[in-house]
Amino acid sequence: MLLRAEGISRDYFRNGRDTNFFTAVKKTDLEIEKGSCTAVSGRSGSGKTTLINMLSGLLTPTEGRVLFDGEDIYAMSDSTRAAFRNRNIGIVPQGQTGLKSLTVLENILLPAVMYGNEKDKTEKARKLMKQLSIEDLEDVFANELSGGELRRMAIIRAMINSPRMIIADEPTGDLDDISTEAVMKLFDDCIKNGCAVIIVTHEAECLSLLDVPVTTLRVDDGVIKTQSR
């Protein structure tokens, strides 16, 4: 088992009428295997981002534990967890990300420069950029990119350290059909190489582009239900 979530839940503080917190993700157990693909679907505000942020080491659960390879990631210090995450878990965040004052290539190489092994990843970055048709943007600053270009950059950045798990929050939301196909092909390759991939998506069609089995987690008002297909 690559990742095991034991009884995780997450409350947020909110100034409501009778209570000052509400539960965005209710108590959940989950297991993610090496080389598996998991889709997370559900309505806006149902708790998808909260769930995957807990799984990726970005958001401490109110209760419960997240074990990656048997290691309790939230028992680590912040700096140890940041290094652990950058080596083992590739994250494609929701919304647009990237350091605007760095070029596309510099953004992509950042996790490798900060936390990777010594090996130069430039060739790998170029190969992935070509696969997602952004190779001509290598030296362009991130603040000059369109939403779809930034998204493709973030996807490659998540893959650069060959993580054991990739968690992508609506990775194809702002992509056209051709880019979506290319991105799903990269995810497919990662899965076949043993990487566990978790994709939050509204778009069931993009999942049909994968030729690996997909387990779907349906999130409804903070309650997670598993559906296999």
Ligand X SMILES: Nc1ncnc2c1ncn2[C@@H]1O[C@H](COP(=O)(O)OP(=O)(O)O)[C@@H](O)[C@H]1O
Residues that bind ligand X (CB under 6 A): 12, 14, 24, 42, 44-50
CB of residue 180 vs Mg ion: minimum separation in angstroms? 18
Q: What does 14 interact with, of ligand X, Mg ion, none (CB < 5 to 8 A by kind)? A: ligand X
Q: 10 Å Cβ neighbour count for 75? A: 11
Pairing of strands 71-72, 165-169: unpaired
Span near Mg ion by CB under 5 A; candidates 91-99, 107-115, 136-144, 150-158? 91-99
Q: What is the x/- site pattern for Mg ion, positions 33-62, by CB under 5 A?
A: ---------------xx-------------
Nearest to 157 by CA among 106, 102, 210, 83: 106
Residue 52 to residue 169: CA distance in whole angstroms: 8
Q: What does 162 interact with, of Mg ion, ligand X, none (CB < 5 to 8 A by kind)? A: none
CB of residue 158 vs ligand X: minimum separation in angstroms? 18
Q: Residue 83 in contact with residue 22, Cβ under 8 Å?
A: no
Under 8 Å CB-to-CB from 17, ≥6 apart: which residues?
none
Which residue, 125 or 219, is less far from Mg ion as judged by CB? 219
Q: What does 50 interact with, of ligand X, Mg ion, none (CB < 5 to 8 A by kind)? A: ligand X
Helices 104-115/147-159 angle, 10° precision: 20
Which residue, 50 or 179, is less far from Mg ion as judged by CB? 50
Q: What does 36 interact with, of ligand X, Mg ion, none (CB < 5 to 8 A by kind)? A: none
Residues that bind Mg ion (CB under 5 A): 48-49, 94
